[in-house]
Structure 1
């Protein structure tokens, strides 16, 4: 069966000229997040685990989400969709969504797409924003690697495809009468989980393929990950607090599947699972936890969801990372392909900057393109949703207006280079964004947690030196610029002072005596130096000689703040014998020293 397509009514308006951050180019890696209070969207670099760009987009409606294509980003709110360019970070136009419902966003090669499940509509964003009716309410949509969007029509119980660039939805498969379930993707194929038959079936061009029993009983309320993890489909049974990982490879070929893996989840309320590169990611909303598991059901990591995130939301990025954000946009949790979780604060205060809110103009008839004269050639007849505009009538645009100063941009070119016992930190001038940069704040802290430090520098500063760091410890270095509008987007990098080589040396020290066994002229202390050890740490040092290996029980002593310990102990008086020391619970052994005669 096929369903007719109608085009969305859109309101196009180009924002006034204003100052812009430097032009940047992006692929679909990373994640954009909107901060409603600032009218700003930030780009989170998943690999770098840091914010690396921002765009001022005017008013951001509460609860807005951001999706991206190769060239544009889209801030999707209840009453407007604001498009901005990823090359110049400037607002291009606004679009009017078909409904105020929060859509499911799909970032695909042919999209992005917004699926309005209750309204039964799909919006394809891009050069020609188009609304395509699905004909009824929809289940959770999925996208295959070829750019196709697959939909479950709940009222007709049919499985439908919107092909890349297509203007019609086709429905090649029907779910068995009375059965329920959900779509997912295994490899490159759409697959249907039948929760009544407890089976997986490939969705083929000519219908539903041969079902394969999954080996577990799943309820109708089960939540399914939209893509597989290494051939396994993650299914969460919320009532039983279990997750099943079932084999989805070679479906429809009569092959016996591998046994399912069942994971008993901690007590809590769980979101639908989302699959990353090699991990399944869950959110426990009761306990505000992010949990990650591998394809074998082994738990990888557990991380807290900070309170300022608000109600957490999961999104799989095109880079196969999973991003956790919230309605306020204050921070993003980045789940890497190995299941590790990084907490990335989204920094930026002050008023929104360059791009002012765009005022809607008169809406064209459905199917009209911004500034155009009618529907595209070959498209179905449009269904009007607003009074039509005469052909050739130009779109009303908002004239330029002065933009207030905004916080500075991110300092470019941040580096942190070890120089002896210090780190040399250098950066470039941050974009001023309408007000001179007054100062830079440099801060540092161990990546694994612990005390760090900070220092302030004038607006002309481009480098500083950090001292007092511990060798072998990875530090995160942050540089943020400030002007009269507030602090800007931080630049971050990581650096480690190479761990020093641990050494122990022994020579003859000052003269001494010890009872009747050690006296002049040959009795002296051993002079011992330990370097490169952990600071402020106790170590047990044992002396040895070639004739009497354990002639002395040794001593426990503490290094200083630099990991150095210098002392004189252990009287010795046997010329010609060889002495040395060892440090317990380490592999450190000193030089061999032949005791001289006086």
Structure 2
């Protein structure tokens, strides 16, 4: 089957994307027991992270909090992000997108994105999708990949559980939907002219948070539903979480550094919305908010710290991002967990649905708590005093504040009688509740499994393979052992254990002509770490041999029957598919022949008849690259 048949019919790639196909080596994942995994069938969810320094991507199993697979992707760009669909993963850089198979962990192709901006990635049924906000384009990857124009600069996109992507055109306020498998958007509704806001998902449906009217509007394919009041003054520059957390939508006000949790349960029409909850944050810059299950997640960029809260505003966890991880960023995985990784790809933090945060070293270097590591200052509390004084417990009452922020959740409000820039006839919203929470103490960083052993190499030495590797990062506990396993494409392999001080091992008893996948995993008191893999072909041990004898009779230029015949030459054990020069000799000094060139077959063999000879009783022989045949005494005819 040619390339057009095998690949072109399987995926319809847009012309703007399609450029070239690249091939990379296969990297086989290894379980905690040291057994190679059959691709990613064992880990359908989780999150992939790119490590440009190694030209590899690693799969983070969020539920197990381990690295359980990796694949080699040559030419990774710094800052690349990885998204996954049902059967493939995609490494997305500014100038290149590499696709690799999740079953065999090998690169299938690469193509050029429609623009060089960094897209918003969405993992959802029917996707994944890349939303290029400035260019106003959406790329749906996977089977039937297409580039879809969305009509102008876009806000943050969201996806409902059925795989529908919703888009907000910022210039016109139009809201557009891209159903699963559709190749164009439809735009059933528009926000009121001049109104700001953003999209979110509440339950299974999309909603528009209108920060001008301070309402939440349910969105369907037929238009807006009945609005529900937010019961607070939503700031125009609010950042809105892509989904609700137990019925509350997280809204970040970066100007006043406050996190609001707005009750969206009223969208079902069964009850009135509850009073919003407002939390004051420490001074600094923040990324997010986003949602992991029932928890709200923020990333404090100033202190490089992850903050998590319950849907009721209770702080759950404060976790510093390891400094070697690189510039951190938030990603919401296919399993609805939040992952915090950096451009370097060395460490990943996994935020579980209950707000717990766990560190997964990928191939980290020195941990902050190891001897000699620099000591970072303790992170500040995720919930600090508000800008206008300490917050009081309970709802804010109308009238003068008692040791608390002014009405409206601590935002600066105009004097009584002022309209604060609101549309005529619109009343001021009731204030939200505000809380002061004691700063949680950052927990000590526990030991975690070692990183990937660097520099794994396999060198064939006769019938054996010599392995060498570097010291794996210990990540808080000394490396006690290296677990080594090897397996052919089919059949049984083997395993051995080497001490933590070892940097080499010899594999023996291997089959000739077979390719083995070799894995080395470091182990410490916290468990086994990320696997390093390499493939090596054990060549067939060849012993070149040549035999000659009398062949078919012939008459040739003075060589007369019955004594004249060709020499029958058989070459075995030579390098396959290789050209050799065959030289001919005899102890009859009157005989001369220039020889000939031959090419061995795929097995390293060649059989032919040539070199007419008739001198009965004289010896003949041939030589190829210093290998000499038998001496053959020429018989009479």
- TM-score norm. by structure 1 comes to 0.61
Correspondence 1:303 to 2:319: yes
Instruction: Find the structure with the greater CA-based Rg.
Output: 2
Contact 1:348-1:487 at 8 Å conserved across structures: no
Contact 1:440-1:479 at 8 Å conserved across structures: no
- Higher RCO (CA < 8 A, seq sep 6+): 1
Structure 1 residue 248, shift from structure 2 partner? 1.0
Structure 1 residue 430, shift from structure 2 partner? 13
Q: Which of the residues 480, 489, 492 maps onto 1:455?
A: 480
Q: Which of the residues 32, 36, 39 maps onto 1:24?
A: 39
Cα 1:491–1:91 change in 2 (3 A) is farther
Match of 1:37, SS? helix
In the alignment, which residue of structure 2 is the partner of 1:557? Answer: none
Cα 1:490–1:168 change in 2 (3 A) is farther
In the alignment, which residue of structure 2 is the partner of 1:325? Answer: 341
Q: Which of the residues 58, 70, 76 maps onto 1:42?
A: 58
In the alignment, which residue of structure 2 is the partner of 1:437? Answer: 467
Q: Which of the residues 317, 320, 337 maps onto 2:353?
A: 337
Contact 1:139-1:152 at 8 Å conserved across structures: yes
Deviations 1:300-320 (CA, angstroms, capped at 9, x unpaired): 000111222222110111222
RMSD: 3.4
Structure 1 residue 328, shift from structure 2 partner? 1.2
Contact 1:113-1:122 at 8 Å conserved across structures: yes
Structure 1 residue 12, shift from structure 2 partner? 4.8
Contact 2:481-2:524 at 8 Å conserved across structures: no
Deviations 1:273-325 (CA, angstroms, capped at 9, x unpaired): 01001211101111111100001100000011122222211011122211001
- TM-score norm. by structure 2 comes to 0.57
Deviation larger for 305-314 or 79-88: 305-314
Inter-partner Cα distance in structure 1 for 2:363 and 2:209: 42
Structure 1 residue 7, shift from structure 2 partner? 3.8
In the alignment, which residue of structure 1 is the partner of 2:595? Answer: none
Correspondence 1:9 to 2:16: yes
Inter-partner Cα distance in structure 1 for 2:287 and 2:301: 7
Q: Which runs of 5+ in 1 are unaligned?
A: 350-424, 446-450, 466-477, 496-598
In the alignment, which residue of structure 2 is the partner of 1:153? Answer: 169
Q: Which runs of 5+ in 2 are unaligned?
A: 1-11, 29-35, 366-448, 460-465, 486-494, 507-517, 528-637
Q: Which of the residues 86, 102, 105 maps onto 2:102?
A: 86
Cα 1:106–1:492 change in 2 (3 A) is farther
In the alignment, which residue of structure 1 is the partner of 2:433? Answer: none
In the alignment, which residue of structure 1 is the partner of 2:304? Answer: 288
Cα 1:11–1:58 change in 2 (3 A) is same
In the alignment, which residue of structure 2 is the partner of 1:234? Answer: 250
Inter-partner Cα distance in structure 1 for 2:78 and 2:471: 31
Q: Which of the residues 202, 205, 220 maps onto 1:186?
A: 202
Structure 1 residue 19, shift from structure 2 partner? 5.2
In the alignment, which residue of structure 2 is the partner of 1:174? Answer: 190
| Alignment size in residue pairs | 395
Match of 2:287, SS? coil
Inter-partner Cα distance in structure 2 for 1:301 and 1:82: 35
Inter-partner Cα distance in structure 2 for 1:75 and 1:217: 40
Match of 1:271, SS? strand
Contact 1:348-1:489 at 8 Å conserved across structures: no
